[in-house]
Structure 1
Amino acid sequence: MSQQLPPGVVQRVFIYPARDGFFACLYPIKGIFYFIKHPFLYPLLRARLLPAFLLSAFVLLNLFFWTYLPQVAFLAIFHRTGSAWVNGTFLVLGEGAAIVALLFEAFLVDESQVDVFDSVLVHKGFEGLVREYRPVSAEGNNPVQRLGKPTRSSVYGPFSLRQILEFIILLPLNLIPYVGVPLFVMLTGYRAGPLQHWRYFKLRGFDKEQRNAFVKRRRWQYTWYGTVYLLLQLVPPLSMLFLLTAAVSSALWAADLETQRRQQEVRIAQNPDYTDDPAGGRAV
């Protein structure tokens, strides 16, 4: 006789994780539309637009000129059809995105990403979180103008040697025809997703143990979010714009998580027997 699964197991194991992953992977798209609809964010882009475009164009043009054909020729050893050209394109775009992100985030854009993230949280009504790291004025025509200078060290995303090493180790996946590129993007997204919430973890005051526990409960959500984020970084003319809209999307997700957390804290206060995760267990 076949055993029947207990009620709710299918929902908890399959349906809810799939639903939450789907909602999480929509945040990078939401970030783009939110950025477009809120002009107060535009000055944060204009200051970086020209150097971003020149840097991106310089890196990609050189990579395609010097490395594209040799890499396609090497991939053709393992690919029997024209898929070597497709995998080679994604391989070079991935290399370019990694180089540009490292250079640009390290020297030009990290401060802008912090300002974008904090501005969105202020606009969504969570200035209390932001005040832990910088003053937020009651005056000002928009959230960007209300932000003061950071009073504590403020980093949007930390430099991750582990992420770089994993990126290099996973590059050979592109040798696999057809499925290699999706696997490469998804596995690198596994690491990239949680790093996009580094600023949120700092504002919440999480230590390493709390941060890891928070991410573990949302591992698939962060993986799908990171996968879409990396795919957007492979769009050559717009990759720098998407670095800023990524900060918007991560702030929107953080705001939704905060809303859930506070709603659940109210329910716990009203009903001491309530045992749900007070940090908010799913994306919205």
Structure 2
Amino acid sequence: MAGTVENAKAKAKEVASEDFNKARSLAESAAKSGAYLYPIKGIFYFLSHRSLWKPLLSKLVPTLSLSAGVIAFMFVFAYLPQLAVLVFVNGPLAAFTTILLTLSESSTLINIISRNFLLQDALVDTFDGVLVARNQTGVVSEGRQIKSGNFNDPMAKMGKILKSPFEKFTPKALIRYVMYLPLNFIPVVGTVIFVLLQGRSRGDSVHSRYFQLKKWNNSQREQWLKEHTAPYTAFGTVATLLELVPFASILFSFTNTVGAALWAADIEARDTTMTEVQGSPGEELKKTT
């Protein structure tokens, strides 16, 4: 009996060690890639390029109205019931974790509705416009017509879309979100894990337009994402946290799109396997082998 217990402890220790080493490796890869910086770069690039504001401004009023309605509904009808449950497992932190959970749920609903019915074309225009501004017109021309002239305004060069835009929110993604919700019952750590899992899911979709323009099939996309799980999770986590901010989520949806386009432009321009930072974000990237 004692031998069985010792063997179980040894096995558990081995598994824990393997998981820890894997998590540390992913964290190091994410930090080295610098991918987590691109949502922040997107904010500054967006604010300094007024031509990119046009798609956002055209959708601002209806999306803000949608956001206000969804957030108000969720806090009126979902906050207190969830708080009543979380207070038993999270104690004094329940108020904070319930707010975060409710904002996450609101953000998901807003994204489902807005990306499918309000923002899809505007986000595609923004993504393509950034690529054109970063001298990647050849890539964009694979998915839309590019108008001649107006070289100082990339948005004015956006012609008819030739390929269907970003992937829409899928039932599979919604099911995965609902499955992960119970993690929030675990104090603090559960909420952190929940956000990280959401970040990973979010990261898998940030370059769907880029993959489309590159004419990659599903197998190529999945292989790429599998090889670069850590960088995309890092980007997706930062993007998810930004989009949790009430009412500012629409702005961050656009700045995150800008950040994703800047990342794609760097990958394309420097012919890299991934934006792997050598010491600092501005240094030369790892070349394709």
Instruction: Give the TM-score of the pair, scaled to structure 1.
Output: 0.85
Distance of aligned partners of 1:83 and 1:16 in 2 relative to their CA distance in 1, 3 Å threshold: closer
State which of 219, 236, 246 in structure 2 corresponds to 1:209.
Answer: 219
Match of 1:51 in 2: 62
Q: Secondary structure at the match of 1:196?
A: coil
- Does the CA-based 8 Å contact 1:28-1:225 persist in structure 2? yes
- The count of corresponding residues between Structure 1 and Structure 2 is 254
Match runs of 1:78-157 below 5 Å: 78-79=89-90, 81-140=91-150, 141-153=152-164, 155-157=165-167
Match of 2:268 in 1: 258
State which of 39, 52, 74 in structure 1 corresponds to 2:85.
Answer: 74
Mapped partners of 2:26, 2:37: distance in 1: 19
Gaps of at least 5 residues in structure 2 are: 1-24, 282-289
- Give the alignment's Cα RMSD to 1 decimal: 1.8
Match runs of 1:4-23 below 5 Å: 17-21=29-33, 23=34
Cα deviations across residues 60-88 of structure 1 (Å, max 9, x unaligned)?
01111111111101111222x31111111
1:134 CA drift (Å): 1.2
State which of 35, 45, 56 in structure 1 corresponds to 2:46.
Answer: 35
Gaps of at least 5 residues in structure 1 are: 1-12, 262-277
1:222 CA drift (Å): 0.4
1:151 CA drift (Å): 2.2
Residue identity over aligned pairs, in percent, reads 37
Mapped partners of 1:120, 1:250: distance in 2: 9
Amino acid at match of 1:44: P
Cα deviations across residues 116-151 of structure 1 (Å, max 9, x unaligned)?
000000000000001111121230140000111112
Mapped partners of 1:14, 1:77: distance in 2: 33
Instruction: Give the TM-score of the pair, scaled to structure 2.
Output: 0.84
Q: Secondary structure at the match of 1:149?
A: strand
Q: Would you identify which runs of 4 or more consecutive aligned residues in structure 1 move more than 6 Å? A: none
Match runs of 1:198-237 below 5 Å: 198-237=208-247
Mapped partners of 2:88, 2:41: distance in 1: 41
- Does the CA-based 8 Å contact 2:39-2:238 persist in structure 1? yes
1:189 CA drift (Å): 1.0
